[in-house]
Structure 1
């Protein structure tokens, strides 16, 4: 079944969609392997893994789309992607939609910061007007060729402009045709409930650990009324912390012995990457060629 239709169908179900984050294709394959229905490509994680820089708008749209294409090609899951601000004005947004859609992505979110943007958890965020953001969301909805390519409207305005402004922006984007509304950096459970009461559209939550946002279980979010939750940086944070410990131990002791029981075996690693299937496919094609 078409992956975009799968995602749209999941959005119609009662249970919440859980989309763990990844910054590369290997992470996406693990998400698929353990049985999740959807994967999320984190812009912050891509910035860290691709150029080793913080999420301050340094990664370009072609770089993000290229990474997205690699992730999509590695799995059979719907992939939701961070598309930052749409990388400019309305015309840039239109091209952004065209490129992500052509890459096979199932949904993107577009936020209301100025370009270049920053991670929503950083200080000093600056925003475009509500009218400009709504116009960009409307342009994105109009630009898509496949109606099942979902447009997620994100607002980061809660941090500096308050909850009511964030809700107002979310409602306006829903009216403009956004499929999902994503209000970043909500600060209390009561705020989550207020958003759910006031916005009549599917809602997305960003479970960003060790920040000001409430740390919630997916069942709790479902009960409040949220339809989609991403864990955007969980695996990237763990990768950074675990790799730091591994390298520190190797530097200090001259061996990786402390981590041997925590490593995937080479056999399991190759199995995850589909080595046997690739070998079998190669063998089958060669046999067909010889017998044909």
Structure 2
């Protein structure tokens, strides 16, 4: 419960919340270690990590919740999770909220894609009606047991249906009780400013590298008026390129020597995983016995 309160307090305070993305618990521990106050569990990266497949709606709700539980248990900071489209209709959304909240997640976002859903950046997406989206958001708000569990409403319709419709959906979701509104795939800074001006709720931004949006510093996002920014695939894309380079080099040369300066030492690795703390705790328990 405390992590949910922590996120809620951050949303109520001045300033931008920066939540880097991770696809596993070790990534979340690194995010926490360097001083970020919130982390984001990416659905796209989780699909790649768990089942080695693209973000095409193939990973199940139970797989996502189980994975989230492991990440939550590894860190002391709030975790925001991708809840796709709620995995079905209103009753599926209610079940998803119950399961994510029970897993200790602090926030989820629910989008307006129809089935089968896929990564919004891939294009050619089908959408549910605005009224169905708002019903899902109302159901999610009603289903949560703790009012501090944050419901984020997401629309992916900007590219297909236009900015006006995307903003209209965001406004409707805010009116339906969403705590945060997330409009995906904006195409310019002017559009970002228009979204912030038009939505009567905190607004979230998704910094997706190698896409249409120009790279923008978190301070600029804060100045525009955004409350939350996630970097969903930054760590996953970096991990993939790093491992690809390592394995290619090993295959070609028969050694990992060229990558030694890119590796943590075993001591650094163990420290990040909390080995020292676990060992001290074990010693303390033995002394009490």
Please give the TM-score of this superposition, normalised by the length of structure 2.
0.99
Deviations 1:188-220 (Å, cap 9, x if unpaired)?
Answer: 111001101111110000000001123211111
- Where in structure 1 do 4 or more consecutive aligned residues deviate above 3 Å? none
Residue in 2 that maps onto 1:255: 255
Q: Secondary structure at the match of 2:32?
A: helix
What is aligned with 1:156?
156
Unpaired segments ≥5 residues, structure 1: none
> Structure 2: which 5+ residue stretches go unaligned?
none
Contact 2:90 2:135 in 1 (8 A): yes
Aligned to 2:169: 169
| CA distance in structure 2 between the partners assigned to 1:13 and 1:278 by the alignment | 34
Q: Which runs of structure 2 are paired with 1:66-85 in the superposition (5 Å)? A: 66-85=66-85
**Does 2:111 align with 1:134?**
no
Corresponding residue for residue 54 of structure 1: 54
- Counterparts of 2:216 and 2:176, CA distance in 1: 29
> Alignment partner of 1:164: what SS?
helix
* CA deviation after TM superposition for structure 1 residue 226, in Å: 0.3
2:96 is matched with which residue? 96
Q: Say yes or no: does 1:240 pair with 2:231.
A: no
8 Å Cα contact 1:170/1:182 also seen in 2: yes
Alignment partner, residue 212 of structure 2: 212
- SS across alignment from 2:153: strand
**1:274 and 2:283 equivalent?**
no
Assess if the C-alpha contact under 8 Å between 1:43 and 1:84 holds in 2.
yes
Moved more, 39-48 or 208-217: 208-217
Q: TM-score, normalised by structure 1?
A: 0.98
How well do the aligned residues superpose, as a CA RMSD in angstroms? 0.9
Residue of structure 1 in register with 2:28 after alignment? 28
Q: CA deviation at 1:38?
A: 0.2
The 8 Å contact of residues 81 and 109 in structure 1, kept in 2 or not, is answered as yes
Alpha-carbon deviations, 1:255-274, whole Å to 9, x = none? 11111011000001001111
Aligned to 2:182: 182
Match for residue 2 of structure 1? Answer: 2
When structure 1 is superposed on structure 2, of 8-17 and 73-82 the one drifting more is 8-17
For the 8 Å contact 2:115–2:126, the answer to whether it is kept is no
Instruction: State how far apart, in whole Å, the 2-side matches of 1:215 and 1:3 are.
Output: 30
Task: Give deviations 1:218-267, integer Å, cap 9, x for gaps.
Answer: 11110010000000000000000011001001111111111101100000
